Amino acid sequence: MKKNKIFIYIVCSSLLLSSSCKKFLEHQPDDRTELNSSVKVAELLANAYPHGNYLAFAEAMSDNAGDKGTTGRDLPNSSPWNYIDQIDATSEDTPPFYWNSCYKAIAAANYALEAIDKAGNTAEYSASRGEALVARAYVHFMLVTFFAKAYDPATAASDPGIPYVTLPQKIVEGNYTRGTVAGVYANIEKDLLEGLPLIKNNSYRVPKYHFTTQAAHAFATRFYLFKKDYQKVIDHANAVFPGTTIADNLRAWNTTYNVLGYYELQALYTNSTEPSNLLLQEANSYWGRNYAGYNFGLSSGVRATVFNAGNNPTGKALAMTTKIFGGNETVYNIPKFREHFVKQTISANFGDAYNMVPLLTAEEVLFNRAEANIMLGNNSQAIADLDIYLSKRIVGYSATADKFTETKATSFFPTLTVKDALVGTVLNFKRQEYMHEGLRWLDIVRLKIPISHVSANGQTTISLGVNDPKRLIQIPQDAIAAGLTANPR
């Protein structure tokens, strides 16, 4: 494949805190001090996670977003709903902003790894090396998921991927290629498998904001589900939660959560004390203040389709339904995100907004394990996991009346095989679980689910077929201008 020059957007970034590109070429990446100790390397790795947010565009592109018919048309919300490529790389909550944030995170991981190698890769650096490798794998995975085709073993060796960067960027421009999806996946797996055994949970002061062994195994379940390596999904899920221990780590929607008020729930959902949250990240984002009022979101139609009791295989409403706040559809929302506003100075009335984003959760591990077991024909194990999930979601759950069965799945999906009905059940529950969190889009691209967006007046329909090129988010215009091949349109 032809090599192209591409800006990887670590130049003059907030990560580097440099005042100019020239200074960037003269300083270490964190601009605080030379990376000459294990403590300093560990501190740098706080920046190896994207400080951008994918929730806004991923949610708007999915079928979780309906047209409420209001006059608001904020571009971070309306452009992805209409599948219009977004150009502005400086606006939070957009694909270009997220792309830049990802490559900044990768740069931090690579500088940490370089410093570790220079120090002799000794035992005192081992945990940081593990974190850097797994973080680098995760960030590249998210990039290839959004900006390239989903992994398909029949085409992955020819489908264009994204640049997999493994060396620190020390010049403004570097030679990069998109490679292939197969190549990106191979590099992800290499970093993941090398890094995971090195991670030490006791090396973190606040573990939920770093790749612990549990979070790394949770990421592995997502990666291998995309790769269709189902036994490895199960193996890694069991490493996170052996046996039925996952039950104590699911969000207690039908008990503790059920009695919380709006702001109490908002404060708990992304809190590091919540056992479900396996990996959290602070993102520069206005999602928390905007998602309830965005025009394209949880509309009346979406609410009825996703949350009505008759629209899931249990025949009962799940507890999240009682926590949809807002007097009408213009502001329907489940309170999951509380904004943290940081002023530029103590006396300033301006600054930056941040949200804590749950990147990996216990529920996803359960769902991934259930789907993998279904694909391998282990229906009883999958049903056991789904039953554990429902025991935390149905108010007044009864171990007899509410126990999940194959019959409930096939009755709800009468035209499908048992296997497809059970997978459909998993997807049905996930869609409710992750409203406002963007993960529905990952299932749409992974399973090639066709979707349509219909205008509030019913006069316009935007359909996205399984092979529509707009399922691939366009890479940033600056990267294209620098020579990286654009996604087809």
* Torsion over CA: 270, 272, 274, 276 (sign): positive
- Model pTM? 0.92
30 close to 16: Cβ distance less than 8 angstroms? yes
> How far apart are the C-alpha atoms of 297 and 64, rounded to whole Å?
7
- Phi, psi (5° rounding) for residue 273? -80, -15
443 close to 54: Cβ distance less than 8 angstroms? no
> How far apart are the C-alpha atoms of 12 and 31, rounded to whole Å?
11
Is residue 214 helix, strand or coil? helix
pLDDT of residue 8: 46
Q: Where are the beta strands (DSSP E) in 295-371?
A: 296-297, 340-343, 351-361
> How far apart are the C-alpha atoms of 319 and 138, rounded to whole Å?
31
* Domain-wise residue ranges, the chain: 4-481
pLDDT of residue 435: 98
In a 13 Å sphere around the CA of 156, the CA atoms on its Cβ side amount to: 16
* Partners of residue 39 on adjacent β-strands: none
449 close to 443: Cβ distance less than 8 angstroms? yes
186 contacts: CB under 8 Å, gap ≥ 6:
none
Given its phi and psi angles, is residue 121 left (phi above 0), alpha (psi -120 to 50 degrees) or beta?
Answer: left
**Of 266, 268, 321, which is closest to residue 288 (Cα–Cα)?**
266
> How far apart are the C-alpha atoms of 245 and 250, rounded to whole Å?
10
> How far apart are the C-alpha atoms of 217 and 144, rounded to whole Å?
19
The stretches in the chain having pLDDT less than 70 are: 1-33, 170-175
Is residue 154 helix, strand or coil? coil
* Torsion over CA: 250, 222, 81, 6 (sign): positive
**Distances from the Cα of 199 to the Cα of 128, 130, 190, 215, 389, angstroms:** 7, 5, 15, 10, 29
In CATH, what is the architecture of 4-481?
Alpha Horseshoe (1.25)
Residue with tokens 């797994």: 134
pLDDT of residue 454: 97
* Partners of residue 461 on adjacent β-strands: 454
